[in-house]
């Protein structure tokens, strides 16, 4: 199965449904990141703008994909997106799988493969954008404070990410055992009824020049 087929299967299965079912929670958690993109778009007035929040890391051929986006923008059009930096910079995002790995058969994350951390390397991101014809590329780190209600944590863990995907297919006994192990692993992030963490991202901007 190639990367395109794998992504199609993933987003049309329980993993995709989990994101749809969790939309309200995710929109609330990542509101500060959304604000960064909205500010950028409103400051563009005269220009077409292409924006994405964590949506561009899943292309099987990212150079071709960004070339298509460039063709869709007018001359001087702006690209701005936010993508995750690496797993080492985002320990919150890997807490569940590290805690659950002894109990579940979880896939290993492959560097540069389509997925959450596909754009972990800023050099790779720059090469992709340059190779697809964008100019004035700027990639800078951005650490954004995010929070969710502590009462939402179990739903978040049991629906999203590698652990959430695995639990969609697990029996009830396995789900219970895994969540009993995983939930305490997040204790250091829980403060006064909230789960607080830093989202370590890249803020990426570029400009379209077609002539």
**CATH value at residue 47:** 3.40.50
Residue 46's pLDDT is 44
**In this structure, what token pair is assigned to residue 173?**
């006994």
pLDDT tens, per residue, the chain with 211 residues? 677 777 777 777 777 777 777 788 888 888 888 777 776 665 557 458 899 999 999 999 999 999 999 988 989 999 999 999 999 999 999 999 999 999 999 988 888 899 999 999 999 999 999 999 999 999 999 999 999 999 999 999 999 899 999 998 899 999 999 999 999 999 999 999 999 999 999 999 999 987 6
Are the beta carbons of 67 and 133 closer than 8 angstroms? yes
For the chain, the domain total comes to 1
- Domain span including residue 21: 3-208
For residues 141 and 83, what is the distance between their CA atoms, to the nearest angstrom?
10
For residues 57 and 36, what is the distance between their CA atoms, to the nearest angstrom?
18
pTM of the predicted model over 0.85: no
CA distances to 6, 147, 150, 200 from 192, rounded to whole Å, are: 40, 11, 9, 23
């Amino acid at each position: 199965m190639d990367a395109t087929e794998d992504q199609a299967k993933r987003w049309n299965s329980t993993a995709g449904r989990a994101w749809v079912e969790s939309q309200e929670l995710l929109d609330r958690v990542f509101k500060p990141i959304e604000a960064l993109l909205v500010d950028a778009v409103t400051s563009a007035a005269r220009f077409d703008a292409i924006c994405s929040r964590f949506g561009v890391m899943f292309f099987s051929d990212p150079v071709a994909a960004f070339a298509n986006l460039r063709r869709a923008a007018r001359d001087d059009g702006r690209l701005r997106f936010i993508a995750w930096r690496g797993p080492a910079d985002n320990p919150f995002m890997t807490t569940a799988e590290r805690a659950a790995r002894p109990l579940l058969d979880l896939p290993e994350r492959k560097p540069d493969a389509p997925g959450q951390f596909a754009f972990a390397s800023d050099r790779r991101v720059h090469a992709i954008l340059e190779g697809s014809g964008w100019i004035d590329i700027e990639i800078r780190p951005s650490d954004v404070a995010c929070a969710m209600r502590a009462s939402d944590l179990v739903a978040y863990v049991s629906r999203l990410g590698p652990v959430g995907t695995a639990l969609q297919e697990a029996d009830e006994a396995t789900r219970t055992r895994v969540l009993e192990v995983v939930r305490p692993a997040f204790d250091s992030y829980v403060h006064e009824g909230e789960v607080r963490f830093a989202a370590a991202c890249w803020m990426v901007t570029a400009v379209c020049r077609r002539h």
